[in-house]
């Protein structure tokens, strides 16, 4: 299996765009797993300028299928004192597959205090916890190491 890091490392820049390929092991039917497509868009967007502040939000639209050779073009839409807006398009032979708008923004002190609740606490998996790599019917899930916390479900695909 090709890891996400290997896919990103294989990207090359040419004509102000990033070029790469979606391995079949990252397919979800006839298109790439959406998280991979969004990660490729973010990779290109973060390189539009060398000093972007931290990512604060993303709007990702999955427009059409992406598979095989892909091209990622990122464009700075606007850069202000605190925020930068970057658009990234991912295309393949089938045309535009993904369009994302990323907002990178420096921290700003707020006059509003918000009491936040806490997330439920779950025990971390121990060293002997059984994991499985997705379901055979959905190939892209085999790129993730999963722990099934529901009794008995998913056991058929566990090694």
Tens digit of pLDDT for each residue in 13-46? 999 999 999 999 998 888 888 899 999 999 999 9
Helix (H, G, I), strand (E, B) or coil at 123: coil
Q: CATH code for 4-105?
A: 3.10.129.10
Q: What percentage of the chain reaches a pLDDT higher than 70?
A: 92
Q: Binning pLDDT at 50, 70 and 90, where does residue 87 land?
A: very high
Give the number of other CB atoms < 10 A from CB of residue 112. Answer: 4
Please check whether residue 148 is in contact with residue 38, taking contact to mean a CB–CB distance below 8 angstroms. no
8, 22 Cβ separation under 8 angstroms? no
Q: Tell me what pLDDT residue 142 has.
A: 82
Mean pLDDT across the stretch 97-104?
98
| Residue of 153, 127, 151, 143 whose CA lies nearest to 23 | 143
The mean pLDDT value of the chain amounts to: 88
Mean pLDDT of 80-109: 96
* Residue ranges covered by each domain of the chain: 4-105
Average of pLDDT values for 112-139?
Answer: 78
Using the predicted structure, report yes or no on whether residue 155 has a pLDDT greater than 60: no
Residue 152 confidence class, pLDDT cut points 50, 70, 90: very low
Percent of the chain with pLDDT over 90: 59
Predicted pLDDT of residue 74: 98
pLDDT surpasses 60 at 11: yes
Q: Could you give the C-alpha distances from 147 to 2, 150, 158, in angstroms and in order?
A: 21, 9, 10
Pick 123 or 80 by higher pLDDT: 80
């Amino acid at each position: 299996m090709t890891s996400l890091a290997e896919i990103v490392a294989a990207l090359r820049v040419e004509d102000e765009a990033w070029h790469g390929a979606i391995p079949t092991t990252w397919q979800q039917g006839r298109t790439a797993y959406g998280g991979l497509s969004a990660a490729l868009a973010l990779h290109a967007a973060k390189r539009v300028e060398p000093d972007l502040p931290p990512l604060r939000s993303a709007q990702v639209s999955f427009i059409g299928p992406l598979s095989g050779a892909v091209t990622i073009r990122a464009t700075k839409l606007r850069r202000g004192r605190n925020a930068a807006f970057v658009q990234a398009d991912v295309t393949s032979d089938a045309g535009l597959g993904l369009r994302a708008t990323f907002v990178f923004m420096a921290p700003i002190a707020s006059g509003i205090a918000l009491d936040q609740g806490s997330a439920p606490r779950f025990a971390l998996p121990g060293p002997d916890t059984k994991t499985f790599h997705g379901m055979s019917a959905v190939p892209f899930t085999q790129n993730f190491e999963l722990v099934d916390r529901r009794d008995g479900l998913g056991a058929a695909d566990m090694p």
